[in-house]
Amino acid sequence: MNNLSQLQGKLYLKFNNEDLLLQALTHRSYLNENPSFRVGNNERLEFLGDAVLELVVTEDLYARFPEKPEGDLTSFRAALVNSKMLSEVSVDIEINEFLLLSRGEAKDVGRARQYILANAFEALVGAIYLDQGYDAAKNFIARVLMPRLDEVLANKSYKDPKSLFQEEAQERVGVTPNYDVVREWGPDHDKHFIVGVFLGKELIAEGEGPSKQAAQEEAARNALHLKGWI
């Protein structure tokens, strides 16, 4: 397939079994509309790639920071392998242009697409591992993901947003942030929350999420950006 050849060129990869690459790009929604498609969805590859990714990143951090305790290394790793980071890397390497999605999923460009892109990245790692082995997967991750570590350290994005915003707010303005639910809706199994983060009585930013905790973290992240504190 020309598309696969084009993507392999962009990724500087050459698959022995191109069906593994095709499967890594195939979301389950696509198979709902194309049940006779020749490969399965990417969820099993994602499962495998997640484990390979975690090991590669862990090895790299362990060797790179011999003086850092386990807690710091865990935080660094979490900042590198979370869905936001992996989706950003997927966009950078243009996986998004090659995903096979249902017509409905193809229209969604919000948080759902972020998870799809992150999962596709993990599936791609799994496909590389199966096709070419651990070292090839390691080299790919070193090339496309590990350079983001400098950004993680510079922005302190290895710290959770609430802790970081609290530290910055206390240091810069001597105020501890507080959070209030601004709005919530939906049934118990599908709740959504909008939470505001305040410094005193001043609303700094809002965040949305499927839980109060997730909405608080999004609000803190938005506040950090709005204040220019990262």
Residues with a catalytic annotation lie at: 50, 122
Count other C-beta atoms under 10 Å from residue 148's C-beta.
Answer: 17
The tokens for 12 are: 């500087």
The H-or-E segment that residue 111 falls in is: helix 111-132
Q: In a 3-state reduction of DSSP, which class is residue 72? A: helix
Beta strands in the chain (DSSP E): 178-185, 192-199, 202-209
Give every strand in the sheet of 192-199, ordered side by side.
178-185, 192-199, 202-209
Distance in angstroms (rounded) separating the CA atoms of residues 92 and 87: 9
Closest C-alpha among 56, 58, 48 to residue 127:
48
Residue corresponding to tokens 């707010």: 169
Distance in angstroms (rounded) separating the CA atoms of residues 24 and 22: 5
Identify residue 56 by its one-letter amino acid code.
V
Cα angle 79-14-29, degrees, rounded to a multiple of 5: 60
Closest C-alpha among 156, 130, 141, 159 to residue 59:
141
